[in-house]
Structure 1
Amino acid sequence: MTGPTMNLLILGATGPTGRILTHLALRSDDSVTAFVRNPATLGDLAEKVTPVVGDATSQHDVLAAASGHDAIVSALGRSTSVRAGELFTRASAAVVGAAEESGVSRLVWLSSFGVGHTYDWASPTQKTIYRTLLRSIYADKKIADERIRSSALDWTIVYPTRLTHGPAQGTYNAADRLPMKGNPTISRADVAAFMHQSLHSDEWIHRSPVISD
C-alpha cells in the first residue's frame, strides 16, 4: 500500500535504478521533478517529469530545485566506475544542506551493503570485494551516510546487496540486519520498489534497511 501522492525530487533519475523508481512514482500518480546533469538523458521521461538541470554536488543547485517538494530521493551512482570522485561525500553535503534550508524533511538515500557498519555483517566473499575493488567508493559512501544520519532530516538509508538488472521479484527481504552467505544479489527493480514504498510510509524513518533476495 502506498499513501497519498507526493511531490518528489529525484536525484539520479536517469540512472539504472533511478529510472525505474521514476516510472514507479509516475504510475502511482506522484509528481516527479527529475534532477539531471543532461536533460537529453531523460528520453521517454522528458514529457512526464519536470526536468531541472543541475549538479547534485552543488547545494545551490539542489536548493533551487528542492522547494515545494514532499521528499528528496537519491539514486545517485557511479555507473560502472569504482572510483568515487567524492560524488557521495559532496552530494550528501549539498542535499542535506538544501533539504534543511528548504524545509524538505524526508530523504531516502541509496547506499550499498558493506558500507560503514554493514561491513561487519558481510560474508567473507563480500568483504574481499568491498575492501579491494570497492574500497574507494565505499569509503566515500561511508562519509555521506554518516552525514545524513547526523542531520535533522527524516532519513532512510537503503543498503542493497549486489545489484542486478533482472525483473522485480517482490519477494526480497528487508530488515535492519540480514544474514549473509556468499555474494547475494537484488534487482534494481526491487530496490526501486522498496525505495518508493519507503517514501510513502513512516516505517523506515531513521533506519538503515538492508535489502537482498
Structure 2
Amino acid sequence: MKLLVLGATGLTGRHVVEVALRSGDSVTAFVRSPAALGDLADQVSVAAGDATSRRDLAAALPGHDAVISALGAGSSLTSVRANDLFTLASEAVIGAAREASVSRLVWLSPFGVGHTYDWSSAPQKLIYRTLLRSLYANKEIADETVRSSGLDWTIVYPTRLTNDPAKGAFRADDRLPMKGNPTIGRADVAAFLHRAAQDGEWVHRSPVITD
C-alpha cells in the first residue's frame, strides 16, 4: 500500500511512519521541514509542503492509496490556543484528495471533540471545556468537514495520549464508557491508524480508542 502521512514528524506521526514501514508499505512523509525526519528520511519518500495548502497536497497525492493525517497542534503551552490549522488542513486535504482521486482518508482527532464530549467523564469534561475549549472547537469544525467530504473517511478519537511503549492491546469501538481520564500510547494509536487505512472495517465510522 502507498500511504501519504501528514504530520509525519510529530510524536504520533513518526510512529505511523515506522509502523507502515515495518508492514512493507511505501510511505510518503508530507512535512514542512524534511530535516525533522532525521533517520527516517532515507526510508521514505519526502514531500515538502504546507498541510493547509491544497496546491502542495495535490502535488504530492497522485498515486497514493490512502492518506493518514496525524496532524497535531504541538506540545507547547501555545498549542491549546485556537487556530485555523485543522479547519484549513481538512479543506486542503479533501480538495487535493478529490483532485487526485484518492478516496481513503484516516483522520486523527482527540477524544472530547464534538459528539464525544457527551460521553466524557467529569474530569475529562472539566479539561475540555476550559483549557482545550477553543482548540477543540476548531477541531470539531474540521471533523464535520471530513464527514461531509464524500471520501471514505475514518475519524479516530484516542483518549489522552502518552509516550508509553506500544502494548499491542487496546479497546476500540464507536462508543466506549469513560471513567476518570484514561490514556493510550501514541504507538498504539499509530498502529490503529495504520490498520484502519488497510481495510474497510472503519470506513464512515468514528472509533474511540483507549488502553
TM-score (norm. length: structure 1): 0.96
Among 148, 151, 156, the alignment partner of 1:153 is 151
Alignment match, 1:98: 96
Report the counterpart of residue 107 of structure 2 in structure 1: 109
Identity %: 69
Q: Which amino acid is 2:104 matched to?
A: R
In the TM superposition, 1:159-198 aligns within 5 A as 159-198=157-196
Shift in Å, 1:126? 0.3
Equivalent positions of 1:133-152 (< 5 A) are: 133-152=131-150
Question: Counterpart amino acid of 1:127?
Answer: K
**1:136, distance to aligned residue in structure 2 (A):** 1.3
Structure 2, unpaired ranges of 5+: none
> Contact 1:78–1:84 (CA<8 Å) still a contact in 2?
no
Mapping 1:21-40, distance limit 5 Å? 21-40=16-35
Q: How far apart are residue 26 of structure 1 and its match?
A: 0.6
User: Distance between the aligned counterparts of 2:129 and 2:56, measured in 1?
Assistant: 33
4+ residue stretches of structure 1 with deviation over 6 A? none
Equivalent of residue 118 in structure 1, options 116, 119, 141: 116
**Structure 1: where are the runs of 5+ without partners?**
1-5
What is the rounded CA distance, in whole Å, between the counterparts of 1:118 and 1:170 in structure 2? 24
Match for residue 54 of structure 1 among 49, 55, 61: 49
Aligned length: 208
SS of match in other structure, 1:189: helix
Contact 1:10-1:22 within 8 A present in 2 as well: yes
**TM-score computed with the length of structure 2 as normaliser:** 0.97
Contact map agreement 1:100 1:152 (CA 8 A) in 2: no
Deviations 1:35-72 (A, max 9, x none): 00011101011100111110000001111101110001
SS at match of 2:209: strand
Shift of 1:186: 0.3
What is the alpha-carbon distance in structure 2 between the residues aligned to residue 201 and residue 25 of structure 1?
14
Aligned to 1:3: none
**CA shift at 1:171, angstroms?**
1.7
Q: Which amino acid aligns with 1:123?
A: S
Return the letter of the residue paired with 1:205: V
Alpha-carbon contact 1:165-1:189 (below 8 Å) kept: yes
Whole-angstrom distance in 2 between the partners of 1:69 and 1:30: 11
- Conserved in 2, the CA contact under 8 Å of 1:11 and 1:73? yes
Secondary structure, in 3 states, of the residue corresponding to 2:52? coil
Shift of 1:84: 3.5
1:126–1:13 Cα change, 3 Å: same
Letter in 1 for 2:84: E
